[in-house]
Structure 1
Amino acid sequence: MRVSILVDFLRPNGAGLMALLQGQLLRDAGHDVSFIAAAASDEISSAIAESGIRISAFLHSEQPFDRTLSPRDFLTLREDARQWMQNELTSQNADILCVHNCGRLLDQHMVSDLSRQLPVVMTVHDEWFLTDAHYRLNIDSELVRSFEPHRDASLARHRYEHLDEVSARAGNLTIIAPSSWLFERCRRRFPGLRCIHLRNPVDPQLFDAMGRTEARSLLGVDQRVPLVMAVGNPREKRKGLGHLAQSMNLVEGNPILLVVGGSSSYVGQEASSFIEPGCLQAVLDENRVPDLRLHGYQDRAIAVGGCPRSMMRLLYAAADVVAHPSVMDNLPTVPIEAGLVGVRCLATDVGGTSETIADADGLFPHHASAEFLADRLAIELRRSRDETAEVRSERRKRQLHRFSPERHLELLEPLLESLVSK
């Protein structure tokens, strides 16, 4: 098959990673794969080209889309990018098109219209295709909706009639929902469309099992200090790191909080005494700032910004427990990756998170108090020190069974072939 994969921004995180892995799997299975992106950095474009996959990008940076533009200039830029995408798709003469969350540039009607030209498989990594907002969540007692490409977040002015026309406009369109939670929402919102539940894959080689002692030696982290790890930009409220920091202040033993995400690094005064020469120190020194808001847990906190993805395995393995207190998620990769490395994870029971966690009792209610979460963290920190290699190995096996690339391709390839044949 000739497969084109369409994304708005091809990034090394989130939906971008899923699109990249899907392209590699289909290429390895012998299919002719190409990427079409509105924006992709030269670094990512070169890496894809070196792997033997074609890539076309409208721009080499996302900045023109993010800068403050006049409404007219923004609409002109977006329309130019849309027309360029259409021309690229026509020139590639693909048998099928795989779309990954193009909410920044395309709308639901455009995706539906494309499915009248050729079969389209739309993977919905969040709620955008159903609601115009990537997420709907309560933050500080306020309901927040992250609308795209519509910039007006006011419900009084936001209109939804176009969503009622999606099914009627669609041709050969299939929706892939990575979680059961999102699958049920898609099925109810678009009863006239074909909806499939197919979990995202995760690269098991990148997140291979590893022991805590070895990981801390390579990183340069004190072997004795209790360590809780979280992944997410400290400035992103959806990640729930404020609630986690509040809970950490109540945990006996004053564990270190290691936050991986964002672009800036920070080391608290007390935390610095637990870092020794190693690869973690080198990354921290690259973009360290003197002060970073970590929600009131400054002194015993470490923030790792601009972390290379190749180091994530070491950071997971070094943790006693991984915490994922996200306010809303579809199919978060953090609990999956932690389990593949063999580490216990505590996560809020929201969205499709229950499908991603290796230990079912690792879920906690999203409305849990700081005291409740602090007690859970204290228990898991004690338990982790007694965990055997066999326990960590079994945790990895459970994740491999659900999220291996082989399992994903085994279900995806026949689906694409059947759609092309129709």
Structure 2
Amino acid sequence: MNILHVNASDISGGAARAAYRIHRSLVEHGVAHGLTSQMRVISQLSDDPTVISGPPTGLNPIWRRLQPRLAQRARRGFRTGNPTLHSVAWPSTGLGAELQQRHRQGQADLVHLHWLGDGTLSIEEIGRLPMPLVWTLHDQWAFCGAEHYTSPPLPGESASSDERFAAGYSPASRPAHEAGPDLNRRTWLRKRRAWRRPIHIVCPSHWLSDCARRSTLMGDWPITVIPYPIDLIVWAPCDQAQARALLDLPGERPLVLFGAMGGGADPRKGADLLLDALQRLRSQVAGTPLEQLELVVFGQSRPAQPPDLGFPIHYSGPLHDDLSLRLLYAAADVFVIPSRQDNLPNTGLEAHGCGTPVVAFATGGLVDIVDHQVTGALAQPFDPLSLAGSIRWVLEDSQRRRKLAAAARQRAERLWDPARVAGLYAEVYGESLLASTSPSLR
């Protein structure tokens, strides 16, 4: 069976990297299941010959220039307090016709959709695809309106109260922070009209699958949970002392690692919660060996005015290769993910692959990554004091931390091995192919 993955890009952004890793797991392990795999993207950054890139075949250059302008016009007047990306997936791009042609030519027995956004496939083009389809969701867009995530939880909430996807986007369910044309309802209605045939949905986390199952749009579609794969050779433990020496980090101090604080513009990432937790941690560890703690931030250069957290901060700057990030995971004693909303962040899988314990809030797909007090610790959502205590719990006992690190690596080997993930997808492809040939569904 020839599988063709479709994504906006191959390795630009977390969703793209996840989609590419799924594709590569099938390239490397699909033969055992009778599968071949290619990936069709609009924008390519890798030099992988199994990735096909560029604008859709036969696309008129004038139409190509008009598309983003028309998509922008569709948003005119819409205002929202939800900072997440909104995609209308309109107008048609021409990629749908290309995929149908590839199917007729035997190049795509099954199309595997991933993150699309604007400019890849329109909602209507997806609905016209005749071949068997599988769709891995990397966020909530497929069953929502135009938003890729619902509004993040408000202070005092343990989960988002914005669930129009479950209510069916009625006018009465519109949140107070939106104004102008109801872009989310319009987009959701287009999906409901266009997608008449159920698509087999794959969710990387149980949280996302629960959302999809509760959605009005996809609640009765087939839904399977399959985690992302990671290369366990690339993401593997290495000597901590050597990693710190190579990165010019202190050899004996406790090190806490986290992603760029620049994510503070997006409340989903929880940068404000992390800042609060670190301030609390400073008072907790005063007079203990952990008062020597230092912080490492990756993905961001040192700002002109760094925040005063009471601990020395090392900024690694933007990273462009896996080896540097692997060394950072190995150098750290704990990796912190303070997100309010997240699907299955690649960084959590990578950290565990490198034998680094992870601390996060017990929310979203983070509970699929961290086995509480076995491979890290899960704090109470969204309590900075609990987050501070969880970080301290991991760090204060070196023997316990070593056990957490070993268990983290074992969890990565058990759950996120590419060969295992390829086998799980092979089962889904078989089910989707069987469903498409069933007389009752034709």
TM-score, normalisation: structure 1 = 0.77
What's the counterpart of residue 41 of structure 2? Answer: 37
**Residue 325 of structure 1: how far off its partner (Å):** 0.5
Distance of 2:185 and 2:14 partners within structure 1: 26
- The 8 Å contact of residues 38 and 57 in structure 1, kept in 2 or not, is answered as yes
User: Paired residue for 1:406?
Assistant: 419
1:95 counterpart = 2:133 = no
Which residue matches 1:111?
126
Task: Tell me the secondary structure at the aligned position of residue 334 of structure 1.
Answer: helix
The alignment yields a C-alpha RMSD, in angstroms, of 3.3
Q: Give the match for residue 256 of structure 2.
A: 228
Alignment of 1:256-405 (within 5 A): 256-261=294-299, 264-266=300-302, 291=304, 293-294=306-307, 296-297=308-309, 300-307=312-319, 308-360=321-373, 362-369=377-384, 371-383=385-397, 385-387=398-400, 392-405=405-418
* Change in CA separation of 1:33 and 1:88 when aligned onto 2, cut-off 3 Å: farther
**Is the CA contact 2:273–2:382 (under 8 Å) kept in the aligned structure 1?**
no
Is the contact between residue 336 and residue 399 of structure 1 (CA under 8 Å) also seen in structure 2? yes
In structure 2, the CA distance between the partners of 1:375 and 1:390, relative to structure 1 (3 Å rule), is closer
Give yes or no for contact 1:122–1:176 (8 Å, CA) kept in 2. Answer: yes
Distance verdict in 2 for CA 1:88–1:292, change over 3 Å: farther
Amino acid of the structure 2 residue aligned with 1:405 = P
Q: 1:390 to 1:302 in 2, by over 3 A?
A: closer
Deviation at 1:175, TM superposition (A): 0.8
Cα deviation for residue 411 of structure 1 reads 1.1
Distance 1:3 1:75, change over 3 A: farther
Specify whether residues 234 and 203 from structure 1 end up closer, same or farther in structure 2 by C-alpha distance, changes over 3 A only.
same
1: CA distance, partners of 2:390 / 2:213 = 36
Give the 3 Å change call, closer, same or farther, for CA 387–127 of structure 1 in structure 2: same
1:113–1:374 distance in 2 versus 1, CA, 3 Å: same
Other structure's SS at 2:149 match:
strand
Q: How far apart are the structure 2 equivalents of 1:80 and 1:135?
A: 19
1:420 aligned residue: 433
Per the TM alignment, residue 139 of structure 1 is displaced from its structure 2 partner at its CA by: 6.1
SS at match of 1:22: helix
1:26 alignment counterpart:
26
Gap runs ≥5 in structure 1: 60-68, 267-289
Call closer, same or farther: CA 1:359–1:341 in 2, change over 3 Å. farther
How far apart in 1 are the matches of 2:295 and 2:326?
Answer: 17
Counterpart residue type for residue 349 of structure 1: A
C-alpha distance in 2 between matches for 1:33 and 1:100: 14
Q: Which amino acid aligns with 1:329?
A: D
Higher strand share: 1
Give the TM-score of the pair, scaled to structure 2.
0.74
C-alpha displacement at 1:104, in angstroms?
A: 2.9
Which amino acid counterpart does residue 373 of structure 1 have in structure 2?
A: L
Query: What is the identity, as a one-letter code, of the residue corresponding to 1:170?
Result: R
Q: What does the per-residue CA deviation read over 1:135-162, in whole Å, with 9 as the maximum and x for residues that have no partner?
A: 22046799898x9xxxx98266324265
The answer on whether the counterparts of 2:89 and 2:117 sit within 8 Å (CA) in structure 1 is: no
Instruction: Tell me if structure 1 keeps the 8 A contact 2:71–2:89.
Output: no
Residue-pair matches, total: 370
The amino acid that maps onto 2:118 is R
Aligned partners of 1:265, 1:92: CA distance in 2, in Å? 44
Q: State the shift of 1:403 in Å.
A: 1.5
**1:120, 1:246 → 2: CA distance?**
45
Alignment partner, residue 281 of structure 1: none
For residues 244 and 277 of structure 2, the distance between their equivalents in structure 1, rounded to whole angstroms, comes to 24
- Map of 1:285 onto structure 2: none
In the alignment, the residues of structure 2 paired with residue 299 and residue 322 of structure 1 have an alpha-carbon distance, to the nearest angstrom, of 16
* 1:255 correspondence with 2:279: no
**Alpha-carbon contact 2:257-2:332 (below 8 Å) kept:** yes
Q: 1:86 aligned to 92, 96, 117, which one? A: 96
The whole-number CA distance in structure 1 between the counterparts of 2:19 and 2:273 is: 31
Deviations 1:7-59 (A, max 9, x none): 12333441111211122122222333322222223xx2x2x12xxx1412229
Looking at structure 2, the residues matched to 3 and 80 of structure 1 have their Cα atoms a distance apart, in angstroms, of 25
Query: Structure 1 residues 373 and 187, CA, compared in 2 at 3 Å: closer, same or farther?
Result: closer
What whole-Å deviation, never above 9, does each CA across 1:166-204 have from its counterpart, x for those lacking one? 387333621111111211221221233221121221221
In the alignment, the residues of structure 2 paired with residue 418 and residue 344 of structure 1 have an alpha-carbon distance, to the nearest angstrom, of 36
CA displacement at 1:363 relative to structure 2: 0.5
| Offset of residue 248 of structure 1 | 1.9
User: Could you give the per-residue CA deviations for residues 325-372 of structure 1, whole angstroms, max 9, x where no partner exists?
Assistant: 111111223332222211221101111211111444610122213x44
Deviation, structure 1 residue 254: 5.2
Instruction: Give the match's secondary structure for 1:347.
Output: strand
Q: Residue 102 and residue 386 in structure 1: after superposition, are their counterparts in 2 closer, same or farther (change >3 A)?
A: same
Residues 298 and 79 of structure 1: CA distance in aligned 2, closer, same or farther (over 3 Å) = same
In structure 2, stretches of 5+ residues that fail to align are 57-66, 75-87, 165-174, 286-290, 438-442
CA distance in 2, matches of 1:298, 1:390: 29
Is the CA contact 2:205–2:227 (under 8 Å) kept in the aligned structure 1?
yes
Relative distance call for 1:25 and 1:316 in structure 2 (3 A) is same
2:188 is the alignment partner of 1:163: yes
CA spacing shift, 1:312–1:140, aligned 2, 3 Å: same
Question: How much has 1:316 moved relative to structure 2?
Answer: 0.7
AA aligned opposite 1:181 = W
**Rounded Cα–Cα distance in structure 2 between residues aligned with 1:85 and 1:332:** 28
Q: Aligned partners of 2:305 and 2:94: how far apart in 1?
A: 40
Amino acid at match of 1:305: G
Structure 2 vs 1, CA of residues 211 and 222 (structure 1 numbering), >3 Å: closer, same or farther?
A: same
